[in-house]
Structure formats: C-alpha cells, structure tokens
Amino acid sequence: MDKRIGIIGAGVAGLHLGLHLRRHNVPVTIVTDREPEAYAGSRLINTVAHHHITLERERGLGIGHWDDRDHHYFCHHHYFGGPQPLHFRGDFAAPSRAVDYRLYLPALMRDFIAAGGEIEYRQVAAEDLSRLAARFDLVVVSTGKGVLGHMFDHREELSPYDRPQRMLSVGLYTGIRDADPRGVTLSVSPGQGELIEIPTLTFDGMATALLFENIPGGDLEILARMSYDDDPKGFIQTVLDKLEAHHPTVYDRVDKARFGIRGSVDLLQGGIVPTVRQSYVALDDTTLAVALGDVHAVMDPMVGQGANMASHAAVVLGEEIVAQDVFDARFVETVDRRRNDRVLSALRWTNLMLAPPSDDLLMLIGTMSADRALADEFTDNFNYPERQWDRLASPARIRAWLAERETARAAA
Ligand SMILES: Cc1cc2nc3c(=O)[nH]c(=O)nc-3n(C[C@H](O)[C@H](O)[C@H](O)COP(=O)(O)OP(=O)(O)OC[C@H]3O[C@@H](n4cnc5c(N)ncnc54)[C@H](O)[C@@H]3O)c2cc1C
C-alpha cells in the first residue's frame, strides 16, 4: 500500500523520522518554516549532547558526518559542592558527541532531500491542518515548543509543574580547557543550581557549551536575566564570578585572558515548563495528527534527554509506519507502548533531579563518589532512561540499588 506521510517541523524528531522513512522508500514530505541556509548566523538554538545510543541510531539512518574521535567525549565528571565537596567520574560504554544544531539540522535536511524526501518551506497554522489532512494518510506534528503543538491537550497527571524550575543561561564559550579525559561536567551548587559543561563542535571547531541551570530566586538567576548585548564585559565578569563561587572545577580550567562568548548570537536565556501532551488528535474522519518530540514531551535539559528521546520516538514511529497500513487510534497505541517507557522515564527522572534531593538520593551520590562501577552505571544509564528510572523511581529502589552495590563490593 502507498503511504503518504506529512511531517510538520524539521527538528531532530521530524528529520530522524523522515530519514528512517526514506530508507524504507516511504514517500514523505516535511513542511517546515526554516530553510537550511537560515541556520548559519542565527541565534543558538540549544546545546544538545547525543548519547552513544543516539549515535548508533544515527549510523542506522546513514548520518555519518561527525564520527571523528576528536569530536567525541567519553565520560561525565561530577562535582557536588557543599561543606565537603564530592568529585568523581563515570564512564560511558561508548563515546557521545555534541554538535551545534545550527550545523546539524541543515546537514540532515540536505541528507533527507538527497534521499528523495521533499521539503516545503512555510509556517503551518492551525487552519492549514485540514488541507494537510487531505494530502496525507498521517500527519506528524514535530514543531517543538511552538504554539502549533498546543493542538494536543496537556496531560496534567504527567505535567506536575506550571512554571520553569530552572532559569537557563546557555552559551558557547571560548577559553576553557577540556576536562581530562574529555567529558561533560555536571556541577551542582546545592540550593543554587547546576552547570552542565559540554565540549561542542560548532562552525569553527570545538567550543565549550556552558548551560547554567539556575534555581529561581537564587544567586545564579541573574545569568538568565542579564543582557550580554548591553554590557558584554560586565556579563563575562559576572559569569566568571559565579563560576568561581559555585562551579570551581570548571572555573579552574578557565584561561581568563581568552574567556568569552564565541559570538553575540551564541547565547540563549529562558526557561522550560516540563509538559506531556496527548499523543494524537483527529484532523478529519480519516486522518490523525500524531505528536512527536518536544510536542509530545518537553523536558528541562538538565540531564540532556529531550533530543535523545525525540530521536528514539521518531524511529519507533517510523518503524510502525513501515510495519502497519492503518493509521488509527490503535496504531498510536502501539507507538505509545513502544516509545513511552523510555520517553516518560526520561521526563520523570529529569523532574526528580529538578526537585530538592531526598536523603536517599544524597546517599546514592555519596556512594557513587567511592564506587566507580556505580558511577559508571549511573552515567551509562543516560542512554537508557528507563533503566535509570528503574533504579530511582522510589526511595525503596534507590536503597535496593545501594544494597546491591554493597553486596557486590563485599564479594569483590
Ligand atoms: C539549552 C538547551 C539544551 C539542551 N540540551 C539537550 C541535550 O544535551 N540533550 C538532549 O537530548 N536534548 C537537549 N535539549 C532538548 C532538545 O533541544 C529538544 O528536546 C529537541 O531539539 C526537540 O526536537 P524537536 O524536533 O521535537 O523540536 P525542535 O528541534 O524545536 O524542531 C521544531 C521544528 O519545527 C519547526 N517549526 C516550528 N513551528 C512551526 C510551524 N508552525 N510550521 C512549520 N514549522 C515549524 C522549527 O523551525 C523546527 O524546524 C536541550 C534544549 C535546550 C533549550
């Protein structure tokens, strides 16, 4: 049977789905509001790290542009501040990688076109949907955080917050030496927020993404409010002061003479309300619209899951489109059964990390600092949020994990 699939939005979700479908010769059209040429010189979109499970999925999609070891990183360096700071490392089973999405998305758009996909460039509004329903057997809405996604109702039972839990300030910086071995640093300033430092490939080579996750009302929130353009020097000095006070293992690697934002567009400030939306709506009697990526589940970026989940869900949806002929409510149930364990685990785990830590979580962190195998498992679980959530979903599970490790250490 001929299947005509329409995708709205050419982010990671829409493009991974489109590339999967083209590998199976399914006719597919992406309608999106940004041409590939519009990305160079535009404002930073995000600072996304792809974990090794996503890199493996990309290889399956034929995306092989950045498989160079010089662009990879290998571990997480954890720092927990406080009266007795903890500093430890966890390794991945295989390398991870972060590429500036202003490079990544246009490259994938070109790959999609080269694979026989069609792209139409325009902004889609709610009133255009009935026309799209007439053209396609299934419409996938992967428009990220924009308003079109609000056509899917918000699921209150899975969306506990009504406002951002962190005020974000993220930029691409120069003048920071990589940690050794090259890795992402996750630095926690208790009660104030977190810093995620990511070695990132951008237009002119490697730079350092600093993603400050600042607790509203705390000492670091100013980083999400201050204008760089109004006072570039004052902004950079404030970043340095906050790094020194709250995130010292990153501060120690800063070369102050070279430290700065790569360019004035390489800074993004704001906040995200973690939200889950319904999986589909009927556009007419025969055609459904399915929510994908951030439209379906948007999460705070603290543990770097949104794009990795969008990719996972895109390929699950693609596999089901290839396997099935009828795109009805039962079709979406099958997709949800396969995508949701991982996607919702990522969201719940992220939400747990946004809340003040429980005593059990603090105990886990303390134990990780002295138990390398535990830190490695926690780190590699960034690839498998459902496994992380199996470990963290309740205090009893955290205690069971700690007991298991104690037995393993005693036996070693
Ligand atoms: C600072 C920051 C850091 C992050 N770090 C990570 C990380 O380390 N790891 C991770 O996995 N995730 C991370 N994320 C999350 C990640 O960026 C998102 O989850 C992911 O990009 C969502 O992809 P998407 O395809 O669903 O949506 P998007 O990437 O937002 O794509 C939406 C597409 O739709 C188009 N569009 C929008 N509206 C319309 C319309 N009306 N008509 C036509 N086209 C439209 C847009 O132009 C775009 O092409 C981070 C996010 C932020 C903000």
Q: Whose CA is nearest to atom 1 of ligand 1?
A: 46
> In Å, how far are 230, 243, 332 from 256, measured between CA atoms?
21, 12, 53
Closest ligand 1 atom to Cα of 44: 1
Compute the distance between CA of residue 187 and CA of residue 189 in angstroms, rounded to an integer.
Answer: 7
Query: Does residue 181 have a cis peptide bond before it, meaning omega lies within 30 degrees of 0?
Result: yes
272 to 149, 235, 306, 328, 396: CA distances (angstroms): 15, 22, 11, 31, 30
Atom of ligand 1 nearest to the CA of 270: 53
Q: What is the Å distance from ligand 1's center to 280 Cα?
A: 19
pLDDT in tens, the chain (412 residues): 689 999 999 999 999 999 999 999 999 999 999 999 999 989 999 999 999 999 999 999 999 899 899 999 999 999 999 999 999 999 999 999 999 999 999 999 999 999 999 999 999 999 999 999 999 999 999 999 999 999 999 999 999 999 999 999 999 999 999 999 999 999 999 999 999 999 999 999 999 999 999 999 999 999 999 999 999 999 999 999 999 999 999 999 999 999 999 988 999 999 999 999 999 999 999 999 999 999 999 999 999 999 999 999 999 999 999 999 999 999 999 999 999 999 999 999 999 999 999 999 999 999 999 999 999 999 999 999 999 999 999 999 999 999 999 999 999 8
- The residue to mutate among 37, 119, 142, 145, having the most atoms of ligand 1 within 8 angstroms of its beta carbon, is 142
Ligand 1 mutation target, pool 42, 44, 48, 96, most atoms within 8 A of CB: 48
Burial of 134 (0-12, 13-18, 19+ CB in 10 A): exposed
- Pocket lining: 306 vs ligand 1, CB cutoff 6 Å: yes
Do residues 362 and 82 lie in contact, with contact meaning Cβ atoms separated by under 8 Å? no
The per-residue pLDDT for range 54-71, each reduced to its tens digit, is 999 999 999 989 989 999
Q: Is 308 in the pocket of ligand 1 (CB under 6 A)?
A: yes
Delineate the domains of the chain, giving CATH numbers in brackets: 5-48+99-161+274-353 (3.50.50.60), 167-270 (3.30.9.40), 357-411 (no CATH)
pLDDT at 64: 83
Q: Cα–Cα–Cα angle for 82, 86, 90, nearest 5°?
A: 140
pTM for the predicted model, two decimal places = 0.98
CA dihedral sign of residues 123, 129, 132, 136: positive
Task: Answer yes or no: is the C-beta of 360 below 6 A from any ligand 1 atom.
Answer: no
268 beta partners: 170
Strands (E), 69-164: 72-80, 86-98, 118-121, 138-141
Query: Do the Cβ atoms of 20 and 319 come closer than 8 Å?
Result: yes
36 lines ligand 1 (CB under 6 A): no
Å from CA of 144 to ligand 1 middle: 5
Angle, vertex CA 146, rays to CA 145 and CA 148, nearest 5: 120
CA of 10 to the centre of ligand 1 (A): 9
Backbone dihedral angles phi then psi of residue 358, each to the nearest 5 degrees: -75, 165
Question: Ligand 1 pocket: which of 12, 55, 143 to mutate (most atoms <8 Å of CB)?
Answer: 143
Give the chain's end-to-end CA distance (angstroms, integer).
58
Gap from CA of 308 to ligand 1 centroid (Å): 11
81: amino acid identity, one letter: G
Residue 370, SS3 per DSSP: coil
d(CA 307, CA 337): 19
